[in-house]
Each structure stands twice: as C-alpha cells, then as structure tokens.
Structure 1
C-alpha cells in the first residue's frame, strides 16, 4: 500500500515508519522538518519526505487537500489534536482513501473508577486535551458506522523510548527525581503513592498501528487502548527505578498541599494531571482483534529511555546503572 504518515518523525513514527518500509509499503512522511526519527534506521532512506506546517495549512484550508493529493491507500495521523482538523481530513478522504488511522490517548478517559479500564468503561474526559481527543474518536467511530470512511483510533499510554524523557515516578518530567533515586535520597510523594500510570514503549504502539493497517476490516470503526501489559503505581515505579542504581527508594508521604508548595509549579501540576487520573488499562481488545503483543513491560520501556539519556549525557545521576 501507499501509506501517508502525518507527523512520522516523532515518538511513534521513529519505529512505525521503518516497520512500514520493511513490510513493503510505499511510505510518505509529512512533517514540519526533515528529521528522520530518534533512532537511526536505514529504512528512512526509502521514505519520501514532505514538509508541511499542518496548523498553518489547516488555517488556510489546504492541508486535507495536500494529503489527498498524495493519493494514499491509507493515512496514519499521529498529530491531530483538533476536532475541526480531524473532520476536514475525514471529509476530504471520504471515498478516496481506504483507511484512516488516528492516534488518540488514554486521556480520553477521565479518573478511573474501576480498573483495568476497557474501551467501554472509561469515565468522561477532563481537561482540554482529553476532551478534544475523545471528541475526535467519537466522530471517527460515527463516520465509519454510518457507512463513510473506514477509520480506526488507537489510544496509547505514556509513550517512552530512546530519545526523550519518560514520565517519571512522580508523574512529571522533572529530571531531578532520577538523581535522588540513584543516590538513595528521600523523595516526597503526594499521598501514599498508590496511583497508577500506564506507560508503553513507542515500538509497541508502532506495532499496534501496523497491525491495524493489516487488519483493516476487523479494525474498521473500532478504537483500541495501546499500553504495556501492566501498569506501575508511584511507589512501585520508584522502588523499581531505585533498584537500577543499587538503591532502595526512600519515599516520604506528604499532602498535595505540601507537595505543591515544595515543587516547581509546572511539575506539580503535571504530577496532578497524571496521578489524579489513576490510569490502568486493559489490552484485551487489542490482543483479540489486532493480535497486539507488546514486547515491553513498563519498567523495561522506561529503563531503555533512562539508559539512553544517561549514555547521551542528558541525565544527571549520582550512581551508574547496575542493570
């Protein structure tokens, strides 16, 4: 097939585009720059790059025409965050393209009431990002079930892999937590650290997209949670991460008020956004319908990311990894 990937130079595309090339597809990558992913792969030499600023072209009403003009058999949209943009693309591709796959997020579901959360048991989303992604997924499902364009939406957890910082044990991107864990220093944890975060390796997400492309009829009109086979809660994540450095996590429960007082505002708010959702999702639907078989447990995916950051001198730690 001729597959157009929108935003293929990021986390998921780093692994998805080489997979598609190796599977024999003719691949076009639409991105704002010419970067070829976070991990070197010779498959990128067989990809046709197209430079485009989606936001600017959406405002001008030309982006959907650009995509359709490439005459794709399938489109993988990894960077759509706006319902109007998603709708414009659907309307332009309807009748002209065989399959549109959309990258959503587990944040389309709000705070958990019962875990693991399935595609049918999530609570209403909270926050602009989750609300917008949920609206796009609903629109895509209605489009296909009404006889229109064949669509599929896949909803990853917190994506990790080599090349970028993972969401850490406190639910934020503050890199100092890794130094404290590696040194065995005390870490303030809001509450008792029982809240879950559900990570997933970027290559496992790529695997799911490749499988959905190959199983178009089964995936038509469906949505799938794409996460690791298990999830980490705060205290478990911290203990496992500390052990990588030969340490034991020294966790000190504090109130959210105290945590906010002692933590930089942006990091504290990010922690709240992740931990109050308390997300742990089921992958049974993706297993059954797509044959999804994630290779990475969450701690393995995070460790790969941390190791890469340390090797690239992008993460300050007090002791070397012992694993």
Structure 2
C-alpha cells in the first residue's frame, strides 16, 4: 500500500517508517524538513520526502488537499493536536483514503481512580492538550461508527528512545536527576513517591501503528492504550536508575511547596505528570492488534540514558555498570 506518514522524522516515525518499508509498503514522509530521523536506517533511502509546514497549511485550509493529492491508501498522522485540524483532515480524506490513523496520548485520561486504566474507565482529562486529544479520539470513533472514514486512534505513554531525554524519575526532563543518582547524592521527592508514570519505547509505538494497519478490520473505529507492559513509580524508577551506576538512591521526602522552590518550571512539569498517576492496561491492544511490546519501561529508559551518555549529552558522575 501507499502509506503517507505525517510527522515522519519524529520519535515514532524514526522507527515506524523503516518498519513500513521493510513490510513492502510505498512510504511518503511529510515533515517540516528541519531535522533527520533520530536513528539511521538504510530503509530511509526508499522513502519519498515531502516538506510542508502543517500548522501554516492548516491555517490556509490546504493541508488536507496536500495529503489527498499524494493518493495514499493509508495516512498515519503523528502531529495533530487540535480537533479543528483533525476534523479538517477527516473531511478532506473521506471517501478517498482507506484508513486514517491518529497519534493521541495517554493524557486523554485524567487522574487515575482505578488501576490499570483501560480505554473505558478513564476519568475526564486535565489541561488543553489532554482535552484536545480526548475530543479528537471521540470524533474519530464517531466518524467511523457512523459509516464515514475508517479511523483508528493510538494513545502512547511517555515516549522513550535513543536521541532524546526521557521523562525522568521526578516526572520531568531535568537531567540533573541522573547526575545525582550516579553520584549517590540526596534527591528530594515530592510526596511519598508512589505516583506512577507509564513509559513506552518509540519502536513499540511504531509496532502498534504497523499492527493497526495490518489489522484494519479490528482496528476500525477503535482507540488503544499503547504503553510498556508495566509502569514505574517515582521511588522505583529512582532506585532502578541509581542501580545502573552501582548506587542506591538517597531519596528525601519534601513537600510540593519545597519541591517547587528548587525550580518552579521543572516542578510544574513534575506535577503535570505525577498528579495523573497513570498506569494503563493494554489488553485491548493485545487482543485486537496483536500488540506485543518488547521493552519494559526501565529497559527503554536505560537505552535512552546510555545513548545520551555515549553522545556527551548527559553529565553523570559515574559510568554505567550495566
């Protein structure tokens, strides 16, 4: 099939596009052309590259026509963030494309009431981003179930992989936590540190998109949690991370007010992640897509940390022991 991937040079596309090429598909990648993929793969030599500014063309009302003009059988949209953008693309592709797949987010679910969170028991989302992702998923489901365009939405956890910083044990991107863990220095954690974060390796997300294309009939009109087989809480993640450097994490409980004084911007990111306390089930994706993630969350995070150290992008006080 001819598959158009919107946002193909990003985290997911880095792994998805080579998968699609190896599966025998003709692949077209649409991106702004500002950087290459995060990992090299010879399969990219067989990919047609199209440069486009999605945001600008959405404003002009021309993006859907650009995508339709490529005459795809399947469209994978990895960079849609508003209901208006999603709706415009659906209306333009209706009756012209066989399958539209949308990349959502686990933040379409609000703070957990019951664990694991399934596609059916999530609480209402918090914040503009999560609210938009939930609204898009509802619109896509209704579109397909009313007899319109065949759609599927996949909702990844915190994406981890080589080439970028992972969400760390404190629920933010502050790289200082890795230096402290590697040095055995004290780390203040807000609250009791039992809050969950649910990561997923970018290649496992790519696997899920490929599986949804393959299993179009069972994926049609459905939405799926796409995460690692297990989740890490703050204390567990910190202890596992410290062990990579031959250390034991020295964790000190602090109040949220104290934690915010150490860096209000990073603390807000931590709050946004930890207040949700997310741990998701993947039974539906296993059953309908044959989703089989290869990475446990700690293995995915270790791969990312190792890459950052090897490329001199992470300051640590001790070398990895694993």
Per the normalisation by structure 2, the TM-score is 0.99
CA–CA distance in structure 1, aligned partners of residues 147 and 30 of structure 2:
28
Question: Per the alignment, do residues 56 and 210 of structure 1 end up closer, same or farther by CA in structure 2, a change over 3 Å counting?
Answer: same
CA–CA distance in structure 1, aligned partners of residues 55 and 200 of structure 2:
27
Superposed CA offset, 1:227-275 (max 9, x none): 000000000000000000000000000110111112x121000000000
User: How far off its partner does 1:219 sit?
Assistant: 0.2
Partner of 1:274: 273
Partner of 2:305: 306
Partner of 2:176: 176
CA–CA distance in structure 2, aligned partners of residues 100 and 134 of structure 1:
17
Partner of 1:208: 208
User: How far off its partner does 1:205 sit?
Assistant: 0.2
CA–CA distance in structure 2, aligned partners of residues 223 and 291 of structure 1:
14
CA–CA distance in structure 2, aligned partners of residues 255 and 246 of structure 1:
28
SS of the equivalent of 2:5 reads strand
SS of the equivalent of 1:81 reads coil
CA–CA distance in structure 2, aligned partners of residues 146 and 176 of structure 1:
50
User: How far off its partner does 1:126 sit?
Assistant: 0.4
Partner of 1:28: 28
CA contact (8 A) 1:64 1:88 kept: yes
Partner of 1:78: 78
Runs of 4+ in 1 over 4 A off after TM superposition: none
CA–CA distance in structure 1, aligned partners of residues 51 and 136 of structure 2:
24
User: How far off its partner does 1:34 sit?
Assistant: 5.7
Q: Aligned pairs, how many?
A: 322
Consecutive unaligned residues of structure 2, counting only runs of 5 or more, are none
Partner of 2:287: 288
Per the normalisation by structure 1, the TM-score is 0.99
Superposed CA offset, 1:6-30 (max 9, x none): 0010000000000000000000000
CA–CA distance in structure 1, aligned partners of residues 18 and 237 of structure 2:
31
CA–CA distance in structure 1, aligned partners of residues 107 and 95 of structure 2:
31
CA–CA distance in structure 2, aligned partners of residues 198 and 79 of structure 1:
21
User: How far off its partner does 1:35 sit?
Assistant: 3.4
CA contact (8 A) 1:36 1:44 kept: no
